[in-house]
Amino acid sequence: MARSALLNVMTQAATKAGRSLTRDFGEVQNLQVSMKGPADYVSAADRKAEEIVFQELSRARPEWGFLMEERGAVEGRDPEHRWIVDPLDGTTNFLHGIPHFAVSIALERAGEIVAGVVFNPATDELYTAERGGGAFSNDRRLRVAARGKLNDALIGCGAPFLGHGDHARFLYEARNIMANTAGIRRFGAASLDLVAVAAGRLDAFWEHALAPWDCAAGSIIVREAGGIVTALDGSRFDPIAGDIACGNEAIHKALLDQLKRADDAIRMTKTSAA
């Protein structure tokens, strides 16, 4: 596969940051005896990776802006283009010595995501996509899984945790989906969940309230692999809003149906309680 100049720039930035994370990951594993030490070290590793991405992309496209996890919004002289960057998706995994994390870079042009790169340095898997050009993993073409029945499907998800998310709603959703599928999986790095859908490892994925840098790159990789990406109610996906459901056409529709049933059950419970 011959990558475009744009994807080459994004790939170089992601892989360089990923190599830095790999070195730091080895040190984090040695810091597990300290509660404070690992967290502080991960924060430094995160910032270092983001600085690498920022410098690489700024050198290649100096007029383009950024939306980054640590820096936030950085205005560019070109209002049409913006990089959306997560230098370390899967921070909690990284902190606990779990080798499942990624660098995620997307390009937004005039409000649309047009290119994405997700790099998993632990497995050396590089996922890329550019609008109209298909999706690839280490130069191998990606396609979403062809399963058509929900009861055969393996579904990825994000789950709320302490102080974050609507726990009650997730339990309703998970109960519905577990009862009608081959199982659900929660791996802790949304960008890697999305590319797993693109690669056919997962049949679908859903999560509420992701940050844009968690889902922007993965969303175009799923689309370019032939998948459907929407908000959880089936409306247009907006990475800023962050609610996402994706999969092949049949499983995506069935997933949305189960999520709607969960919402209906929640409303009935609230009405009965009132």
Is residue 88 part of an annotated ligand binding site? yes
Is 82:110 a contact under the CB 8 Å cutoff?
A: no
Closest CA to 107 of 57, 145, 157: 57
Residue 107 Cα distances to 6, 57, 77, 118, 158, angstroms: 9, 11, 15, 12, 24
Is residue 264 part of an annotated ligand binding site? no
Q: How many CA atoms lie within 13 A of 14 on its CB side?
A: 31
Is 84:73 a contact under the CB 8 Å cutoff?
A: no
Is residue 69 part of an annotated ligand binding site? yes
Is residue 89 part of an annotated ligand binding site? yes
- Residue that is written with structure tokens 């995501």 in the block: 113
- Per the annotation, binding residues for Mg(2+) are 69, 86, 88-89, 214
Question: Which segments are annotated as binding site?
Answer: 69, 86, 88-89, 214
